[in-house]
Structure 1
Amino acid sequence: MLSYPNQNDRGLFLGIWSAMRNTGSIVGGSINFYTNYKRSSAGGIAWSTYLIFVGFECTGVIWGLMLSPTSKVRHRDGSRAATSTDISWAEEFKALWKHMQNRKTWLMFFPAFYSFFYGGTLGTYLALHFSVRARALSSLITPTVTIPMVILYGRLMDQQRWSQMHRAWIGVLIWLIPQVGCFIWIGIEYSKFGTEKAALDYVLNFVTLPWYHVRCLMNWWIQYWLQYPHSHTSRWAEAYLPYILIFSTGYLTQLSLYWILGTFSTDVKSSARTGGLFRAFETLGQAVS
């Protein structure tokens, strides 16, 4: 995605690429939610969920074989996508080593590392403090919210009214400011949790009441709410909102970084090396988290 689109369409195509990734997440989130929506307690998801996902992953080879070769890719004006000549493995490793000595390559290390690092830490936050079905619902909500965001963000990055430098700064600030604020927000939420275990849920589970008088009903409601504050929907929303904001803007983080990487060079092989190293840094962040 760094070399295929034209310079003025790179943001849009990166947005489409990110949206396609999240389309698969919607399918997976729907399956996850369907198999776990009745489980309002803490714990792990149903084992059948994993079997369904493994089955989908086994079909990856089929979809990979259906991809068109680069020589068949055409831009909207009919022109061919950029290609390059083949070189030997020895020459490629030499070029990669030289590429790694470039300062720009290591300039992207920390943002690339962070762009996947938050996933593991926030996944733990969700697992420790939310019910099974709340986590299942999250796996459906997050990609649904993200898809229109990345498309609009990609279009914004292609706006020609601003210079390339201004667009880069605008793109970074759009995700940086809300993420900093949400990390502070989550810190406040952790202070509220304390050492108590929680299983925040989005639906309040009512029980059959032996009382029919309004005053008795209100007294029971107050006692129930005080005894089980974790089951109150508003408490779930308060703790979940910073999570979804960080995760959805996290895709904007990756999109903006890919857009910036695409400005480093117009050479296909150089862009491929940049993208490969970027993915390596991302994976390192994911492994550490």
Structure 2
Amino acid sequence: MSYPPENRKGSYVFIFWAIFNLGGVIGSLIPLGQNIHRENATSVADGTYIAFLILTVVGACLASTLLPVSKVRRVDGTKVIHQKNPTFKTEMIQLGKTLWREPWMLLLFPMFFASNWFYTYEQSDFAAPNFNVRSRSLNSLLFWLMQMIGAYLIGLLLDYNKLSRKSRGMIGWVILFCITHIIWGCGYRFDKAHPRDSGLTPMDFKDSSFIGPMFLYMFYGFYDAIFQCYAYWVLGALTNSSRKLAIYAGWYKGIQSAGAAIAWAVDDQKKLPQLRRI
């Protein structure tokens, strides 16, 4: 959020999101390859977890190659504003000041809180009961690929220099509002006919009934990318200071994770099917 020049904030979010979701693509390809011929498999093989651990170790090693912020220069040659080694106390004080002086961060709370809430439904209520292992692996692969496409398209819009930043922000919000109702409206229609607690028979990708739910799951991924990338762009549009953006990002990810934790807890108590019937 703090490294890109003004006219490439959307593109940088897309680059981050594409790399971020490449892990999901690889993580889906492995179990898909292992289970492509195992129609009745009920769990993934040990190789899936071994590959995950290997990638985690490689990622940790790659982190040591990051350039210190003080040496980073944007493409136009400008420096990135940063603060060296802030303490926990100064971080919390700065967060308090930010929320007091910039009340719009509080107004963004609902968006941040909801930004990972839908993962619980997508993974536990939709994917797990409706598809067998190899079909879930295929769906997962398509889900993460659609994330990249969604991030690319919203990045193009948010960097469209023939429109003002305000116009791009408003158009992005309208698009997000519309696809929320379209995609999740389709999901609601599907869920009414396939409630999780009705003893569903998992579908296989060879079944004729698989195509529609597959595309629905793909567009869940597309929607997630639009939602998340738009949120990052909004934060990045507020300032170029890496110090302040660190506060913004911490607030965003903290609220996001709290919302996700609550969603999983509610799902664990079997409340979501009851709420859907209401």
TM-score range, shorter chain: 0.7 to 0.9
Q: Identify if the C-alpha distance between structure 1 residues 15 and 109 changes in structure 2 by more than 3 Å, giving closer, same or farther.
A: same
Which amino acid in structure 1 is aligned with residue 255 of structure 2? F
CA contact (8 A) 1:178 1:246 kept: no
CA contact (8 A) 2:143 2:220 kept: no
CA contact (8 A) 2:116 2:260 kept: yes
- In structure 2, what is the equivalent of residue 149 of structure 1? 150
- In structure 1, what is the equivalent of residue 210 of structure 2? 236
- In structure 2, what is the equivalent of residue 11 of structure 1? 10
- In structure 2, what is the equivalent of residue 220 of structure 1? none
Give the secondary-structure state (helix, strand or coil) at the position aligned to 2:203.
Answer: coil
Give the secondary-structure state (helix, strand or coil) at the position aligned to 2:238.
Answer: coil
TM-score normalised by the chain length of structure 2: 0.85
1:280 corresponds to 2:250: no
1:202 corresponds to 2:202: no
1:90 Cα shift?
A: 3.4
Q: Identify if the C-alpha distance between structure 1 residues 87 and 52 changes in structure 2 by more than 3 Å, giving closer, same or farther.
A: closer
Structure 2 CA distance for aligned equivalents of residues 185 and 61 of structure 1: 40
CA contact (8 A) 2:132 2:203 kept: yes
- In structure 1, what is the equivalent of residue 238 of structure 2? 264
1:251 corresponds to 2:250: no
1:178 Cα shift?
A: 2.1
1:120 corresponds to 2:120: yes
- In structure 1, what is the equivalent of residue 94 of structure 2? 95
Structure 2 CA distance for aligned equivalents of residues 181 and 95 of structure 1: 39
1:152 Cα shift?
A: 3.0
Which amino acid in structure 1 is aligned with residue 47 of structure 2? S
Q: Identify if the C-alpha distance between structure 1 residues 87 and 59 changes in structure 2 by more than 3 Å, giving closer, same or farther.
A: closer
CA deviations over 1:11-30 (Å, ceiling 9, x no partner): 11111111111222222221
Structure 2 CA distance for aligned equivalents of residues 78 and 100 of structure 1: 32
- In structure 1, what is the equivalent of residue 169 of structure 2? 168
Which amino acid in structure 1 is aligned with residue 233 of structure 2? W
- In structure 2, what is the equivalent of residue 43 of structure 1? 42
Structure 2 CA distance for aligned equivalents of residues 183 and 152 of structure 1: 20
Give the secondary-structure state (helix, strand or coil) at the position aligned to 1:263.
Answer: helix
Which amino acid in structure 2 is aligned with residue 285 of structure 1? G
Segments ≥4 residues shifted beyond 3 Å = 84-92
Q: Greater shift after overlay, 178-187 or 81-90?
A: 81-90
Structure 1, unmatched stretches of 5+, are 204-230
Give the secondary-structure state (helix, strand or coil) at the position aligned to 2:237.
Answer: coil
Structure 2, unmatched stretches of 5+, are 264-278
Structure ID, larger Rg: 1
- Aligned sequence identity (%): 24
- In structure 2, what is the equivalent of residue 207 of structure 1? none
1:105 corresponds to 2:108: no
Structure 2 CA distance for aligned equivalents of residues 85 and 51 of structure 1: 37
1:89 Cα shift?
A: 4.5
1:107 Cα shift?
A: 1.4
Which amino acid in structure 1 is aligned with residue 106 of structure 2? W
1:57 corresponds to 2:60: no
Structure 2 CA distance for aligned equivalents of residues 41 and 127 of structure 1: 14
Q: Identify if the C-alpha distance between structure 1 residues 55 and 131 changes in structure 2 by more than 3 Å, giving closer, same or farther.
A: same
Structure 2 CA distance for aligned equivalents of residues 132 and 188 of structure 1: 24
Q: Identify if the C-alpha distance between structure 1 residues 95 and 201 changes in structure 2 by more than 3 Å, giving closer, same or farther.
A: same
CA deviations over 1:212-271 (Å, ceiling 9, x no partner): xxxxxxxxxxxxxxxxxxx32xx1111222222122221111111111111223333222
1:85 Cα shift?
A: 5.6
1:134 Cα shift?
A: 0.8
CA contact (8 A) 1:261 1:274 kept: yes
